[in-house]
Amino acid sequence: MEARLSKFALEVIYSPKITDWGVSYDGRRAEPNNLPVKFPLLLAQGAEGIAVGLSTKVLPHNFNELIDASIKILKGKPFTLFPDFQTAGIADISNYNDGMRGGRVRVRAKIAQLDKSTLVITQIPFSTNTTTLIDSILKANEKGKIKIKKIEDNTAAEVEILIHLYPGISPDKTIDALFAFTACETSVAPLGCVIEDNKPLFIGVSAMLRISTERTVHLLKSELEIQLSELEEQWHFLSLERIFIEKKVYRLIEEETTKEGVISAIDEGLKPHIKHLKREVTEDDILRLTEIRIMRISKFDSNKAQDKIEALEGDIEQVKHDLEHLTDYAIAYFTKLKEKYGKGRERQTELRIFDDIEATKVVLRNTKLYVNREEGFVGTSLKKDEYVTDCSDIDDVIVFLRDGKMMITKVDAKTFVGKDIIHVAVFDKNDKRTIYNMIYRDGKSGPSYIKRFNVSGVTRDKPYDLTNESAGSQVLYFSHNPNGEAEVITILLRQVGTIKKLKFDIDFASLAIKGRASKGNLVTKYPIKKIELKEKGISTLLPRKIWFDDTVQRLNVDARGELLGEFRPSDKILIINQNGKLKTVIPELTTHFDEDMIKLEKWIPKKPISAIYYDGEKERYFVKRFLVETENKEDSFITEHPNSQLEIVSTDYRPVAELVFTKVKGVQKENQVVDLEAFIAVKGFKALGNQLTADKLKQVNLLEPLPYEIPEEIIPEEPEVTEIDTSDDNTSLNDDGQITLTLE
């Protein structure tokens, strides 16, 4: 096979004088046994192969970074190497392991949100192409892992794959799902294996580059040595030629008739003039002198000959200097390569640390989970039984039984988990906030115990006993709490003997949260007749962060959309709609929002709200500042007239508005800027407010607020929180209600 070498290849590969040549297959030509490569091509291009019992996978690296690293090696400085792929994309190299066995590189496509219903892929992962990538997306869609409307491949010179989504599908969640279930994220396992002295050698890319750099220095030295030898030969012959002509040695051969006589005559004629030469004159040198043409002798210019010799002497000195300073010469060589060929070879792949995507959080829950509590079955095929929640085929299910047993199992069509199920939900092993509150009777007639626990460190399909493992134990009260809520319950005892106190309250907030294996605290040694819920609980855990995804208009705890803040048990969100109504509610993940919502934020009770509105009855613009007076109830803060309309609303401490007036009879009034805090004091929620202006307004703009230092009394106090025993912390999050068992 023949190939035309590029300019770069001619510079770093083609060097005939130091190439190891062999005979071609037909014996008529010479061909290189191997090429003297003066650049780490293996690391630049990467390599992959498999042989008998061996394989290798060297990932490609960046041209300029390889040169920079080689220079650092020559300077004795530390360096690091990371892969760079021509397909670009994004790579997580935190576990690259220097390209050795056991390492792993995660590579992702570059996905952006074009609009609320369209995603665009502009770069694809290493080891994929647009066809395989699109096929993987379509397969994930068919299996129900993701939900997409259609895909368009507009790839030409640049990659462009458009993914169209159905209305109501979160682009953020879809992007994560693409990484989790399609070839938009791939994992590459490098394996650095090379052949050295005909033996396999397992090494990292840093060691490969060191060997390559040393090899380059060796080859550069060989080239310099050959160059020095050639220059010295040129200097030697030019010096002989000058002596031969200037000293008229050629005249001594006029009387000679034999070859031997000619050689002898020239040799004798040169001897008086060759003391300055660096080596002895050989017979070959004399024969070359005899081949000089008469015309060259007649036109010989002594000055020009001397100039050539001096130039050669300068070149010889330079080569000797380079050999003496070989490291500096190699650094200059690499620097020249980068200057000449490095432009346009900048890094393609962006390096980033990836967040682990929990597949169960981004998978499309396209099936329903059912339960038959009495018979003890859970599954997706029990459609005649009780519906529990939506789920996916990769979810786990957590089940609690009346006898105090607990088990986690994979979602399936129908699975027997044990009779008398009291609670079933989708299990999320990474949730840290769900707390279970439970009271159980120890044995058939033993004392009752109370406990708060989280679920962790479990093996799938293995039953766990949450009681004291006494025969006949029974759960008397159970609740699961997605945000660590602690309710107050009332215990009613049976009349046995001379018991005086048959009714008392217990607050779960007084109990420490421990592991599922804890025995719990003693409630009573007497039989319990009934347990009633007296007061719903509030969270006893640290605040949790809540985000709002504007595309799907839902709250979440998965960092999707805009962060609303950290919420404690009593914290609420403020919702203001364009119709002039507002309300404050506890931020439940199931909360729905109206389409005309214009403001959503964490509510600070003592922070005033400012509004400018048009009153339909008075036909005037009014401004008001007020505090929310009624919680958990939607109420209007503008007048009820059908023509009343909200212009602007602000929750800034010192808002500023700009009034743009309507042109009247050709006269345009200048815009007016109003400091609302100075314009009106905080009044009641139902107050009409102050008239803003009697002039007709064309537009009202909200400007940047004035600076304001928040008083300490406005900042909410931090509540007490319950510490969780995290010795086996691995809990789940669900939004179901609680179950209370009553024994009659």
CA distances from 272 to 238, 247, 276 (A): 17, 10, 10
Mean pLDDT, rounded, for 639-645:
93
Domain boundaries along the sequence of the chain: 1-32, 365-542+733-740, 544-714
Residue 303, pLDDT > 60, answer yes
Percent of the residues in the chain that have a pLDDT greater than 90, as a whole number: 68
Task: Count Cα atoms within 13 angstroms, Cβ side, for 130.
Answer: 17
Residue 592, pLDDT > 80, answer no
Question: Does 251 or 647 have the greater pLDDT score?
Answer: 647
Residue 397, pLDDT > 70, answer yes
pLDDT digits (tens, 9 = 90+) for 139-149: 999 999 999 99
Q: What gap in Å lies between CA 392 and CA 361, rounded to an integer?
A: 10
What band does 729 get if pLDDT is binned at 50, 70 and 90? very low
Long-range contacts made by residues 709-715, C-beta under 8 angstroms, separation at least 24? Answer: 710/653, 713/606, 714/604, 714/606, 714/607
Which pLDDT score, from 0 to 100, does residue 728 have? 39
Which pLDDT score, from 0 to 100, does residue 1 have? 61
Q: What gap in Å lies between CA 133 and CA 135, rounded to an integer?
A: 5
Which pLDDT score, from 0 to 100, does residue 45 have? 95
Stated pTM of the model = 0.72
Mean pLDDT, rounded, for 264-270:
90
Which pLDDT score, from 0 to 100, does residue 741 have? 41
Q: Which residues contact 389 (CB under 8 A, 6 or more apart)?
A: 368, 369, 425, 426, 734, 736
Residue 490: is it exposed, middle or buried by C-beta count within 10 angstroms (0-12/13-18/19+)?
middle
Mean pLDDT, rounded, for 505-533:
93
Pick left, alpha or beta for residue 418 (phi over 0 → left; psi -120 to 50 → alpha; otherwise beta): left
pLDDT digits (tens, 9 = 90+) for 333-364: 999 999 999 999 999 999 988 878 888 888 88
Q: What gap in Å lies between CA 734 and CA 744, rounded to an integer?
A: 30
Which pLDDT score, from 0 to 100, does residue 715 have? 58
Q: Which amino acid is at 472?
A: G
Which pLDDT score, from 0 to 100, does residue 742 have? 38
CATH 3.30.450.20 matches 365-542+733-740: no
Residue 453, pLDDT > 80, answer yes
CA distances from 236 to 64, 274, 297, 347 (A): 42, 10, 18, 50
* Gyration radius of the chain's alpha carbons: 43
Q: What are phi and psi of 440, to 5 degrees?
A: -135, 150
Residue 644, pLDDT > 90, answer yes
Which pLDDT score, from 0 to 100, does residue 8 have? 93
Give Cα 196 distance to the centre of its chain.
37
Residue positions counted in the chain? 744
Question: Does 370 or 720 have the greater pLDDT score?
Answer: 370
Residue 740, pLDDT > 80, answer no
Residue pair 574/582 in contact by the 8 Å Cβ criterion: yes
Residue 124, pLDDT > 80, answer yes
What band does 731 get if pLDDT is binned at 50, 70 and 90? very low
What band does 564 get if pLDDT is binned at 50, 70 and 90? very high
Q: What gap in Å lies between CA 621 and CA 644, rounded to an integer?
A: 10
What is the average pLDDT score of the chain?
A: 90
Which pLDDT score, from 0 to 100, does residue 323 have? 96
Long-range contacts made by residues 544-549, C-beta under 8 angstroms, separation at least 24? Answer: 544/433, 544/483, 546/573, 546/587, 548/600, 549/170, 549/172, 549/173
pLDDT digits (tens, 9 = 90+) for 461-513: 999 999 999 999 999 999 999 888 899 999 999 988 778 889 999 999 999 99
What band does 385 get if pLDDT is binned at 50, 70 and 90? very high
CA distances from 99 to 170, 186, 238, 480, 721 (A): 37, 16, 54, 47, 47
Question: Does 456 or 261 have the greater pLDDT score?
Answer: 261
Mean pLDDT, rounded, for 304-328:
94
Handedness of CA 448, 452, 457, 463 (dihedral sign): positive
Residue pair 244/266 in contact by the 8 Å Cβ criterion: yes
